[in-house]
Amino acid sequence: MRSAFEALSIALVVVAALAPLLRRIALRRRARIGSRDAERLRFTVPLLPGRLEGAASERALLDELERFAQDSELGVVEVLRMAEAGKDLVHRWSVRPASDVAARDMVFATYPLGPDATARGSLRFGWRSDLGDVSPQSEILLQVATDQVAAHLARMHSALAPREGAFAPREGGAETRAAERAPARVVAAGAREGRS
């Protein structure tokens, strides 16, 4: 009787230990299929440039950002300004969560307004995700949305816009600019192999 109890105890411990792993595998499988938040963003992000183009002021741009957040069913969008002591909250839009549990279950992603080296602000998005994490698709789509907001802030000469030159056209074609952005490790790998 004792050995049957020990075997059952061991089986329960193994199942309990494997449960989080099995849950992560199931979530990753669902992520490959696509999450609802990524699907919503696929339809709202392409509309954002046109909406922002019509904004004549920073306030109007923030209104359009709020509209984008509502249409994308995001829970919160924060506009942050870089400061000596960290980041200052400039603007916040949010939907009141149904419960404290819903607020705790939100996922967040923050993106700089412009290239990291010239950014003077960032956008922070929060929403309830089916996956319990930010999907790669949502991450890319929100980065594209942030880049659009940064470009229009630059057009308005906003204090939140990236420092001068972040969106200025450079001499050379797209190929030259792409080569300038090539990751250093790729260039270094070519140099090690004797290529220039």
Mean of pLDDT over the chain:
78
Domain 35-167: give its CATH architecture.
Answer: 2-Layer Sandwich (3.30)
Say if residues 97 and 91 touch (Cβ distance below 8 Å): no
Say if residues 123 and 154 touch (Cβ distance below 8 Å): no
| pLDDT bracket for residue 51 (50, 70, 90) | very high
Dist. CA 136–CA 142, nearest whole Å: 10
pLDDT 10s digits, 65-109: 999 999 999 999 999 998 777 788 999 999 876 555 556 778 999
Pick the more confident residue, 23 or 189: 23
pTM: 0.66
Phi and psi at residue 55, in whole multiples of 5°?
-80, 125
Residue ranges of alpha helices (H) inside the chain are 2-33, 36-44, 48-53, 58-71, 100-104, 136-155, 174-180, 184-192
pLDDT number for residue 22? 66
- Domain extent listing, the chain: 1-33, 35-167
Whole-angstrom CA distances from 6 to 3, 9, 44, 173 are 5, 5, 56, 71
Dist. CA 20–CA 194, nearest whole Å: 47
Residue 2 predicted with pLDDT over 70: no
Pick the more confident residue, 104 or 124: 124
Quote the tokens at residue 70.
């509502």
pLDDT 10s digits, 151-172: 999 999 999 999 876 555 555 5
162 three-state secondary structure: coil
